[in-house]
């Protein structure tokens, strides 16, 4: 298994542009999570899906952020318009059951200039 | 409101000695706790976990202790090795949800 696959690994964009981050979870995992890592807040949960359905999006910072999971093997996190304060590392993770822990992707480092 | 707190942003330990990483939580509904380890440019990886029905779980050089009354857990690494140098995240969940709440992380450096 290739694990959780995120793309791109790095993204540099100008303020005001739309950014789309992509994630392919591990096959058979029914939960998918988007996290953002910053120095101040650590790993912050943005949204999670269970069986492709959004369950909790209370961590999404603003309406500029949106996430979709059109099928069991793909999810996107979109920021439109992007702002410099969105610069962070964004992680996607998937799991079968929390008790076994999540498997994280390698992350996307986003820089908004 | 930070429900899981790691108050030490960094820790430096000599090789062979014990490393103790601490974590506090505020939500009494949490009943499962995990530690993740993160190397630069990689995603966090699962290290060890503990259920609230236990107060200790051991896996090789890694032991996690849970003090429910104090809402505190700790990760002990004995003996510490240079390869243990990484950022360690504490995480917590409750049985009625799939989501993990993470702390801010502690950067451990093990020097020779």
What is the per-residue pLDDT across A7-36, written as a single tens digit (0 to 9) for each? 999 999 999 999 999 999 999 999 999 999
Contacts of B71 (CB under 8 A, 6+ apart): B24, B25, B26, B28
Query: Are the Cβ atoms of B45 and A43 closer than 8 angstroms?
Result: no
Contacts of B53 (CB under 8 A, 6+ apart): none
Reported confidence tier of residue A1, pLDDT bands at 50, 70, 90: low
Reported confidence tier of residue B6, pLDDT bands at 50, 70, 90: very high
Is the pLDDT confidence value at A67 over 70? yes
Contacts of B34 in chain A (CB under 8 A): 101
Q: Tell me what pLDDT residue A98 has.
A: 58
Residue pair A91/B43 in contact (Cβ under 8 Å)? The answer is yes
Reported confidence tier of residue B109, pLDDT bands at 50, 70, 90: very high
Reported confidence tier of residue B96, pLDDT bands at 50, 70, 90: confident
Q: Tell me what pLDDT residue B26 has.
A: 96
* Lookup: tokens for A80: 């439109």
Contacts of A40 in chain B (CB under 8 A): 104
Select the residue of A45, A99, A103 nearest B99 (Cβ to Cβ): A45
Which pLDDT tens digit goes with each residue over A74-98?
999 999 999 999 999 999 999 987 5
Longest CA pairwise span in chain B (Å): 44
Beta strands A5-7; A19-24: pairing state: antiparallel
**How many angstroms away from the CA of B27 is the closest CA of chain A?**
16
Query: Are the Cβ atoms of B46 and A102 closer than 8 angstroms?
Result: yes
Is the pLDDT confidence value at A105 over 60? yes
Is the pLDDT confidence value at A99 over 60? no
Mean pLDDT value of segment B90-98: 87
Q: Which of A54-58, A69-73, A88-92, B92-96 has the lowest mean pLDDT?
A: B92-96
Query: Are the Cβ atoms of B49 and A31 closer than 8 angstroms?
Result: no
Query: Are the Cβ atoms of B98 and A55 closer than 8 angstroms?
Result: yes
User: Counting beta carbons within 10 angstroms of the beta carbon of residue B107, is it exposed (0 to 12), middle (13 to 18) or buried (19 or more)?
Assistant: middle
Mean pLDDT value of segment B43-69: 96
Query: Are the Cβ atoms of A98 and B43 closer than 8 angstroms?
Result: no
Is the pLDDT confidence value at B27 over 80? yes
Nearest CA in chain B to A56: B99
Q: What are phi and psi of B87, to 5 degrees?
A: -95, 130
Which pLDDT tens digit goes with each residue over B68-84?
999 999 999 999 999 99
């Amino acid at each position: 298994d290739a694990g959780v696959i995120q793309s791109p690994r790095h993204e540099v964009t100008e303020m005001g542009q739309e950014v789309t981050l992509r994630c392919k979870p591990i096959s058979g995992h029914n939960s998918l999570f988007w996290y953002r890592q910053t120095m101040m807040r650590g790993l912050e949960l943005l949204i999670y899906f269970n069986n492709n359905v959004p369950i909790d999006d209370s961590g999404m910072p603003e309406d500029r952020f949106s996430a979709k999971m059109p099928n069991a093997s793909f999810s996107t996190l979109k920021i439109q318009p992007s702002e410099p304060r969105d610069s962070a590392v964004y992680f996607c993770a998937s799991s079968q059951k929390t008790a076994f822990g999540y498997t994280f992707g390698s992350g996307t480092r986003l820089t908004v200039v | 409101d930070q429900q899981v707190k790691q108050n030490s942003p960094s820790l430096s330990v000599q090789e062979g000695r014990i490393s103790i990483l601490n974590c506090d939580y505020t939500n009494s509904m949490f009943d499962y706790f995990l530690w993740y380890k993160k190397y630069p440019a990689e995603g966090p990886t699962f290290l060890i976990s503990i259920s609230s029905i236990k107060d200790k779980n051991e896996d090789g050089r890694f032991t996690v202790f849970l003090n429910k009354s104090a809402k505190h857990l700790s990760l002990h690494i004995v003996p510490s090795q240079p390869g243990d140098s990484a950022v360690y995240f504490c995480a917590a969940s409750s049985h009625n949800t799939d989501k993990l709440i993470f702390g801010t992380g502690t950067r451990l450096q093990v020097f020779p």
